[in-house]
Amino acid sequence: MIAEPKHALLRDIWLQVPFLIWLVVLWMLLWAQFTALSFVTWVIVALFVTRVFRLPTIELSGRVNLWWAAVFVAQFLAAVVHGAVTVAMQVLDPRHPPGAAIIAIPLRYADDLVMTHVAVTSSLIPGSLVVESDRDRRILYLHIIGVRTQAEVDAQRRGVLRWEQRIVRAVGTPAQYRALKADQKALATEASATATEGSA
């Protein structure tokens, strides 16, 4: 009678390990502390938070594409550097104060986990910050600086949707990945048909 609860507890902890690792990495990035002491500290904090303030166990997709995950990391690091340089240039140019806007971005493929990944990714890139999320309608509201026109707003929205696609390619569920591939195939077919009509 005692073995079953222990087995369930071990299974619950094992399922939470990727989430714990992600929390530790995220906190180390946010605090810019990359030492052994900070790692151990955040592991203890993550264990405390996840055990005391318990939420339902997160069921991961069970799918990780290492190639797309590596591509995502490389593109994310490049976006962080580009965002930091862009924000610095905007701040240092007093003649053209940067515009700002709060943009609603309806996500297309996201469940709770992917939506969280998109929100964290967008917030870590300088120049954008998630200020609100509508879980039921899968909408993120981002505060963006450096936008003045509707075209720039649309470009920012497309950028966030590309991050969603990259995350789905890397760690999305098989159903999310199939939906993304189907949409991309439909867009390619539509573009091909448009090009054919234009040449005719």
pLDDT in tens, 133-160: 998 899 999 999 888 889 989 999 999 9
| 108 lies in the same domain as 160 | yes
| 32 lies in the same domain as 119 | no
| 84 lies in the same domain as 115 | yes
| 53 lies in the same domain as 74 | no
- Does 199 map to a domain? no
- Does 149 map to a domain? yes
Q: In whole numbers, what is the pLDDT of the chain averaged over residues?
A: 83
Q: Which residue did the predictor score with more confidence, 61 or 133? A: 133
Edge-first strand listing for the sheet containing 128-134: 100-106, 139-145, 128-134
| 111 lies in the same domain as 18 | no
Our count of domains for the chain comes to 2
- Does 172 map to a domain? yes
Range of the domain at 97: 62-178
**Confidence at residue 35, expressed as pLDDT on a 0 to 100 scale:** 81
Residue 109's alpha-carbon distances to 14, 16, 128, 163, 183, in angstroms, are 26, 23, 21, 11, 11
**Confidence at residue 107, expressed as pLDDT on a 0 to 100 scale:** 95
- Does 185 map to a domain? no
| 160 lies in the same domain as 94 | yes
- Does 70 map to a domain? yes
Phi and psi for 60 in degrees, rounded to 5?
-75, 165
| 7 lies in the same domain as 100 | no
Domain end point (choices 26, 59, 92): 59
| 73 lies in the same domain as 172 | yes
| 156 lies in the same domain as 96 | yes
Tell whether the model's pLDDT for residue 26 goes beyond 80.
Answer: no
- Does 157 map to a domain? yes
| 40 lies in the same domain as 74 | no
Most confident by average pLDDT, 1-10, 40-49, 116-125:
116-125
Tokens 């493929």 belong to residue = 109
Is the pTM value of this prediction over 0.75?
A: no
| 71 lies in the same domain as 47 | no
How far apart CA 93 and CA 95 sit, in angstroms, is 6
| 16 lies in the same domain as 50 | yes
